[in-house]
Each structure stands twice: as structure tokens, then as C-alpha cells.
Amino acid sequence: MSSRRYEAPRRVDSRAPGGLRGDNPLGLRRVPGYGRAVPDGSHPRHPIRVLVAEDQYLTREGTVRLLEEQPGIEVVGTAGDRNEVLEQARRLRPDVVLMDVKMPPTHATEGIDAAHAIKAEMPGTGIVVLTQHDDEEYVWALLEHGVEGYGYLHKVRVGDVQTLIRAIEEVAAGRSMVDPRILHTLLARRARKPSSPLARLTPTELDVLGRMAEGRSNTAIGVDLCVSVGTVEKRSAAIFSKLDLTEEPDVNRRVAAVLVYLRESATGR
């Protein structure tokens, strides 16, 4: 597919008869006014510049239209295959690339291959993989060179646009976000392996770690588990200690704890 300069699609009033889902094929619920929060409650002066790569036309344009409605997000281009997303990324230098795992020409792992190529050339660019595939092998393939600035979400389980925007914000800031159900599955499998660091954790500590993986605060974790914030903090401290995560000024131990198992080699799966 040849490169094209992005032109914003014509807006359609989704409230009009017969147009309820044509502009939103993913079925995501719109959240008016959602965007990156800053201390004074306003939106950032410089929006996050996003390149959308998706070979399915309706999904691509629907995603573009949805993102365009969100304050703090600027869609700077689109692409339909691996070669085009690489070309557009090099030309546009986006903050974040939103793409699928499988793309033309072979519909194998072109999206992951393109993500690695983009990261190699532009380390500061965040990658969000939005896909219908939740096979953990794709997650391992995406994160085999590191986890910073990567996100992996399942299309069906993205219940509203806030989840997608949050993922974009996280990877733009150099952090990571992975579908919670996939994380919980990986955590459980790793915890059953005697050689895994996660085998050192108790079930209650794994519960806390799993919710850390979802990006929840200590307060939110406490509410979810029906325990006090102090209890969450004690369990978090135990997790950090058992995973040998020392307190250093430039290390976010919560992120490090969540991603310990992702940093293990392929032979440790």
C-alpha cells in the first residue's frame, strides 16, 4: 500500500439514524472530555501524536475517529501494512504507534516486527498493540527486547475509550500496560514454576502483584481485596523484598515487580 498523507475522515453524527456504529466498529463507549490530566485539571499544551496502523479499513477509520474526539490526542497519520507503518513512523515521528499483531503482506507477526524496528530507530516512541489475539506467545514476542514503552490490549476486552487512552498515555511516558487477563494468566503460570522468582510469593502477595499489573493504586487494591491500605503496603514490601528489588532513586519498584517475569529469557517460560 502506498504512503499517503493523513486526511481526517468526514465526521458523522453517531446519533443519526442508521449511523449508530458505522463510526465506531470496535464498539467502544465514548467518554466525553477524557484526556491526559494535569495538576490544574486542564489538558496538556502538546497533545500525544498517534499513528494508527490497521489493515482493516473500518476498524482503522473508526479508531481514528474515536481518538480524534479525545482531548490531548492528535492522530497524525494512518497505515495499512508493515512497510507503510515503518515509512509513516520515520516521516511523522509520532509519540505513539497503535497497531495490530497481524498485518499484510503475510498476516503473521508483521505488527510485532514493525514495533521492534520502530523502537530500534526511535526508542522514545511508544507502541500499543491492539489486537484480537491473546496468545501469550505474541506477548513474549513483543516484549522480548524489553517492556518500557509497550502496551498490549485485547480489542474485545477494551470496554471503553478510557482504557485505550490510558494505554496510549502510559507508553508515551515510557511505561507499560498489558491486558490484565493475560497478565494474570502469565503470573499464575510463572508462579507454578519452582525456578521462577514468583514462586517465592504467597497467594495474597500474588493478588496484590496482579492488581499492580493493572496499574491500580494501593488504595484501589485495598478496596478490591477488602483490606486496609496498610496491609497492601506490607504485602507490597514483601513482594519487593522477595523479588530482590532494592529501593533506588531511579527505579520504580512497582513497575519492576510487575514485569519481573516478562524479563526472563524465553527458555524460562
pLDDT digits (tens, 9 = 90+) for 153-184: 887 767 678 889 989 998 999 888 887 777 66
pLDDT above 90 as % of the chain: 34
Higher pLDDT, 31 or 258: 258
pLDDT(197) > 70: yes
Query: Which of 5-14, 49-58, 64-73 is least confident?
Result: 5-14
Give 245 or 112, the one with higher predicted confidence: 112
Whether residues 89 and 203 fall in one domain: no
Q: State percent of the chain over pLDDT 70.
A: 68
Which residues neighbour 82 within 8 Å (Cβ) at sequence distance 6 or greater? 103, 104, 105, 110, 111, 113, 114
Domain-embedded: residue 27: no
Task: Name the DSSP letter for residue 56.
Answer: S
Same domain, 238 and 127: no
Domain count, the chain: 2
Q: Looking at the domain assignment, is residue 18 inside a domain? A: no
Q: Could you tell me if 104 and 119 lie in one domain?
A: yes
Closest to 138 measured CA to CA, from 239, 130, 243: 130
Query: 76 and 53, same structural domain?
Result: yes
Statement to judge: residues 122 and 143 lie in one domain? yes
**Residues 126 and 171 grouped into a single domain:** yes
CA pair distance 198, 200, nearest whole angstrom: 5
CA–CA separation, 263 and 268 (whole Å): 10
Compute the half-sphere exposure of residue 74: CA atoms within 13 Å on the CB side of its CA: 12
Least confident segment among 90-94, 141-145, 238-242, 256-260: 256-260
Residues 151 and 218 in one domain: no
Nearest residue to 127 (alpha-carbon basis) of 95, 157, 82, 93: 95
Does residue 186 share a domain with residue 224? yes
Stretch 97-113: mean pLDDT, rounded?
Answer: 89
Range of the domain at 67: 48-178
Of 178, 210, 226, the residue that ends a domain is: 178
User: What pLDDT shows up at residue 247?
Assistant: 64
Q: Which of 150, 178, 206 is the last residue of a domain?
A: 178
> Is 34 a domain residue?
no
| Cα separations in angstroms, 108 against 34, 89, 111, 157 | 34, 20, 8, 22
pLDDT at 188: 67
Q: What are phi and psi of 49, to 5 degrees?
A: -90, 120
- On whether both 213 and 123 belong to a single domain, the answer is no
Distance in angstroms (rounded) separating the CA atoms of residues 135 and 182: 8
In a domain, 56, yes or no: yes
The CB density around residue 4, as the number of other CB atoms within 10 Å, is 12
Would you place residue 252 in the very low, low, confident or very high pLDDT band (cuts 50, 70, 90)?
low
Helix (H, G, I), strand (E, B) or coil at 117: helix
Mean pLDDT of the chain: 76
End-of-domain residue from the set 145, 178, 211? 178
Taking alpha carbons only, the member of 190, 208, 204 closest to residue 263 is 190
Sign for the CA dihedral angle at 70, 221, 148, 138 comes to negative
Grid cell listed for 81: 501494512
User: Mean pLDDT throughout 14-41?
Assistant: 37
Residue 215 banded pLDDT, cuts 50, 70, 90: low
**Assigned C-alpha cell, 250:** 531511579
In this structure, are 52 and 170 located in the same domain? yes
The CATH number assigned to the domain holding 142 equals: 3.40.50.2300
CA distances from 76 to 37, 174, 259 (A): 21, 20, 31
CA distance 163 to 96: 15
Mean pLDDT throughout 3-29? 39
pLDDT at 15 over 50: no
